[in-house]
Structure 1
Amino acid sequence: MQRSAPRLTRILACAAVPVMLVVAGCSSDSGSDDAGKAAEQSPSAAASSAAPSPTVQPARFTELPEPCKAVAAATVEDLVPKVKNKKGTAGQSSDTSSRGSCSWNGLDDKGVKGSQYRWLDVSLLRYDSDPSLGSGEQRATDNYAKEVAKMKATQGAKDVKSAPATGIGDEATNIAYDLKKSDEDFVYAAIVTRTENVVVTVSYNGAGFAGADTPKREDLAKAVVRAAQDGVKAVQAANK
């Protein structure tokens, strides 16, 4: 009986070895699972599953015409008699590919019969496509509405009238109003139009001095349409 005790101890020690190996094996498997979960939650894994950046359709027009050539010389001559500078006066712009303007003015002095004053100006705004802002066309559409609202809200404007205009760009609005400046009654006619991703605004106004008749709204409204059509054609020609 005394000889069997050491033998029993050896048997129990050997029997314990597989149990320790199993426990070690379980611990190893558990560590593998944790590593897998960590990999799944790693930044690289999250980045690979992120949604792709949104894309927008490229803007059709990438260039603007020279503002002072946006209205044909013949149109300027007809709308602004005795024009001071036939070449026009360009407005300042820090980005001529996106915005530009030009103006013309003249005074037709008829002596005792009075004088007729006319002013014509054109503004061009081009919008690029941007994933965070939208397509160039949509941006131009939004800003077209803002330009119309701005024109209708001109400070001091009286009897403001607006109506859709046809045959000019993709959409256009004709705006007319009266405005008193320097004790003279001025009549304004304007067209705001959009062609693809470009907004063209043409403003035309006039007054009669020294007893001359104030120009008629309908006459200025017809004339400004011609200038706006020139502007749209100039944008299209600049991008051919």
Structure 2
Amino acid sequence: MHRSAPRLSRILACAAVPVMLVAAGCSSDSGSDSKKNAGSSSSGTPSAKPSEPTVEAARFDDLPDPCGAIAKKTIKDLVPEAKKENGTAGRSNDLAARSSCSWNGLDDKGVDGSQYRWLDVGFTRFDSDQSLGSGAKRATAEYTKQVAKAKAAEGAEKVAAEPTTGVGEEATTVTYGLSKTGEDFVYATVVARTGNVVVTLTYNGAGYAGAKTPSSASIVKGAQKATKEAVAAVADTADTKATPPPAGGSDDAKKDAKKDTAKGSGSDSPKSKAKPNTKTS
């Protein structure tokens, strides 16, 4: 009897070992689960990432007819005896994104020689893009690029650039001289930005057969006047699209409404239907 007591104690001790191991195992699993669930919400669903901020919407979604963006009277004043009064449109794969038009003419003054003038206006529009930025931001980069391009014109002499107020949201006028065809030309390029659209206008002139070279002041004045009209045409195009046509009414009433809109834009010329042409001065 005395010998059986120790043996019974050993059996009870051995029987207790598996119970302790099982308890330990349960404790370990519980800790593992808590670690796995540490990064989850109480519902078991991972927390959502914050969404990226959307870019500002583009202000303008279309461009004006470039050959109708400058008033007919202004064209007559700046380019006397223009070969094509309605201008020559430049080629473009997308007229809502990029367009241009140019005019040139030689005004024969007889024994006093001749005056040559050339005018070109171009529009570039940018859409807002989540990966590229807002249309205004992209247009600002293009504006800077066009100013630098004008200042680096090949063969340009006495290049000068200065900020220009009252033309769009920002504008720069670049002036320089250039000798070609045996004559001295005076150039003025005005680069302006309005919203997500960049307007680049170049105006130049020269005197032939003994005629005086035009003054830089007169060329700059003409270039800035034409650029103001081109910038205004961008806004007028947007306003025209935003205003619905009059409901009902006769065809004559609708035509009168269109005429009133054209007068409000500062342009008295109809939109040109000239075929694309890449000829330049």
| 1:108 and 2:99 are equivalent in the alignment | no
- Structure 1 stretch 3-12 or stretch 28-37: which is displaced more? 3-12
| 1:36 maps to 2:37 | yes
Aligned partners of 2:96, 2:28: CA distance in 1, in Å?
67
Question: Could you say which residue in structure 2 is the equivalent of 1:23?
Answer: 24
Q: Deviations over 1:66-103 (max 9, x none)?
A: 11111122211221111111221111222222211110
Matches within 5 A, 1:214-225: 214-225=213-224
Q: State how far apart, in whole Å, the 2-side matches of 1:9 and 1:172 are.
A: 99
Write the distance in 1 (CA, Å) between the matches of 2:160 and 2:9: 112
Deviation of 1:5 after TM superposition, in Å, equals: 6.8
SS in 2 for 1:104: strand
CA positional deviation for 1:49: 4.7
Q: Which letter does structure 2 place at the counterpart of 1:69?
A: G
User: Helix, strand or coil for the counterpart of 1:97?
Assistant: coil
Asked if residue 85 in structure 1 is aligned to residue 75 in structure 2, the reply is: no
Aligned-partner Cα distance in 2 for 1:73–1:216: 23
The SS at the match of 2:128 is: coil
Distance, in Å, in 1 between the alignment partners of 2:24 and 2:219 is: 96
Cα distance in structure 2, aligned partners of 1:190 and 1:5: 111
Tell me what 2:12 maps to.
11
SS of structure 2 residue aligned to 1:239: helix
- C-alpha displacement of 1:30: 3.9
Counterpart AA for 1:85: K
Give the direction of change, closer, same or farther, for the CA distance of 1:18–1:188 in structure 2 (3 Å limit): same
Structure 1's 104 and 18: CA in aligned 2 closer, same or farther, altered over 3 A?
Answer: same
Task: Name 2:258's counterpart in structure 1.
Answer: none
In 1, Cα distance between equivalents of 2:152 and 2:106:
27
Distance apart, 1:9 and its partner CA = 5.6
Structure 2 partner of 1:172: 171
Give the match for residue 234 of structure 1: 233
When structure 1 is superposed on structure 2, of 216-225 and 133-142 the one drifting more is 133-142
1:1-240 maps to which residues of 2 (within 5 A)?
1=1, 4=5, 7-8=8-9, 10-36=11-37, 45=46, 48-240=47-239
Q: How many Å separate the matches in 1 of 2:17 and 2:162?
A: 97
Alpha-carbon shift at residue 61 of structure 1 (Å): 1.4
Residue identity (%): 47
The separation in 1 between residues aligned to 2:192 and 2:14, in whole angstroms, is 95
Q: Secondary structure at the match of 1:189?
A: strand
Task: Tell me by how many angstroms 1:215 deviates.
Answer: 1.3
The normalised TM-score by structure 1 is 0.86
Q: Point out the more displaced range, 72-81 or 141-150.
A: 141-150
Query: What stretches of structure 1 of length at least 5 have no aligned partner?
Result: none
Q: TM-score, normalised by structure 2?
A: 0.75
Alignment match, 2:250:
none
Paired amino acid for 1:136? G
Cα offset, 1:230, TM superposition: 0.9
For this pair of structures, how many residues does the alignment match?
235
Secondary structure at the residue paired with 1:63?
coil
Q: Tell me the alpha carbon deviations over residues 140-188 of structure 1, each in whole angstroms, 9 at most, x when there is no partner.
A: 2232222122111111111122222222111222222110112111111
Q: Which amino acid aligns with 2:205?
A: G
